[in-house]
A = this chain, B = another copy of it.
Amino acid sequence: MEIREIIKKKRDGNKVSREEIETFLNGYLEGMVTDYQMSAFLMACYIKGLDDEETLWLTDVMTSSGKRFDLSEMPGARVDKHSTGGVGDKVSIVLAPLMAAADVVVPMIAGRGLGHTGGTIDKLEAIPGFNTSLRFMDMRNILWETGVVITAQSEEIAPLDKRLYELRNATATVESIPLIASSIMSKKLAEGLNGLVLDVKVGAGAFMKTPEDAERLARTMVEIGNSSGVKTIALITDMNEPLGKAVGNALEIRECINILKGKEEADLSELILTLGAFMLIIAEEIVTFNEEDTSLSFNEVEITDDLIETKRHKLQSLIDSGDALAKFVEMIESQGGNPEVVANPALMPVASNMKPVEAPESGIIQFIDAEKIGHAALLLGAGRTRPDEPIDHAAGIILNRKSSQEVSKGDFIAVLHYNDDRNLDSAYQLVMDAFKIDKEPPPQRELIKKVIL
Please report A residues at the B interface, Cβ cutoff 8 Å.
4-5, 7-8, 11, 34-44, 46-48, 167, 170-173
CA distance in complex: A370, B42 (Å): 35
User: Cβ of A11 and Cβ of B173 under 8 Å apart?
Assistant: yes
Known: A35-B36, A40-B40. 16 other contacts (CB 8 A): A11-B47, A11-B172, A11-B173, A34-B35, A35-B35, A36-B167, A36-B170, A37-B39, A39-B40, A39-B43, A40-B42, A40-B43, A40-B171, A43-B44, A44-B47, A47-B48
Nearest B residue to A8 via CB reads B172
Q: Which 6 A-B pairs have the closest CB atoms?
A: A40-B171, A36-B39, A43-B43, A7-B172, A8-B172, A35-B36
28 pairs of residues in contact across A and B, judged by CB atoms under 8 Å: A4-B170, A4-B171, A4-B172, A7-B171, A7-B172, A8-B172, A11-B43, A11-B46, A11-B47, A11-B172, A34-B35, A34-B170, A35-B35, A35-B36, A36-B39, A37-B39, A37-B170, A39-B39, A39-B43, A40-B40, A40-B42, A40-B171, A41-B171, A43-B43, A43-B44, A44-B47, A47-B47, A47-B48
Nearest B residue to A48 via CB reads B47
CA distance in complex: A47, B48 (Å): 9
| Distance of A371 from chain B, by nearest CB (Å) | 18
CA distance in complex: A37, B43 (Å): 10
| Distance of A175 from chain B, by nearest CB (Å) | 9
Chain B contacts for A167, CB-based, 8 A: 36
Main secondary structure of the interface of A (DSSP, over half): helix
Q: How many copies does the complex hold?
A: 2
Chain B contacts for A4, CB-based, 8 A: 170-172
| Distance of A209 from chain B, by nearest CB (Å) | 14
| Distance of A25 from chain B, by nearest CB (Å) | 15
Chain B contacts for A173, CB-based, 8 A: 11, 40
Partner of A171, one of B36, B48, B170, B172: B36
Nearest B residue to A38 via CB reads B36
| Distance of A178 from chain B, by nearest CB (Å) | 15
Nearest B residue to A10 via CB reads B172
Chain B contacts for A5, CB-based, 8 A: 172
Chain B contacts for A39, CB-based, 8 A: 36-37, 39-40, 43
Nearest B residue to A174 via CB reads B4
| Distance of A97 from chain B, by nearest CB (Å) | 39
- Residue of A5, A37, A171, A173 contacting most chain B CB atoms (<10 Å): A171
User: Cβ of B37 and Cβ of A171 under 8 Å apart?
Assistant: yes
Chain B contacts for A171, CB-based, 8 A: 4, 7, 36-37, 40-41
CA distance in complex: A43, B167 (Å): 14
Nearest B residue to A7 via CB reads B172
Chain B contacts for A48, CB-based, 8 A: 47
Nearest B residue to A13 via CB reads B47
| Distance of A193 from chain B, by nearest CB (Å) | 33
Nearest B residue to A9 via CB reads B172
Nearest B residue to A166 via CB reads B36
CA distance in complex: A171, B172 (Å): 17
- Residue of A8, A41, A43, A167 contacting most chain B CB atoms (<10 Å): A43
CA distance in complex: A46, B12 (Å): 10
CA distance in complex: A14, B36 (Å): 22
Nearest B residue to A171 via CB reads B40
CA distance in complex: A44, B39 (Å): 11
Chain B contacts for A8, CB-based, 8 A: 172
Chain B contacts for A7, CB-based, 8 A: 171-172
Chain B contacts for A36, CB-based, 8 A: 34-36, 38-39, 167, 170-171
User: Cβ of A172 and Cβ of B40 under 8 Å apart?
Assistant: yes
Chain B contacts for A38, CB-based, 8 A: 36
CA distance in complex: A34, B169 (Å): 13
CA distance in complex: A5, B171 (Å): 9
Chain B contacts for A40, CB-based, 8 A: 39-40, 42-43, 171-173
Nearest B residue to A42 via CB reads B40
| Distance of A46 from chain B, by nearest CB (Å) | 7
CA distance in complex: A35, B170 (Å): 11
Nearest B residue to A6 via CB reads B172
CA distance in complex: A171, B24 (Å): 12
Chain B contacts for A41, CB-based, 8 A: 171
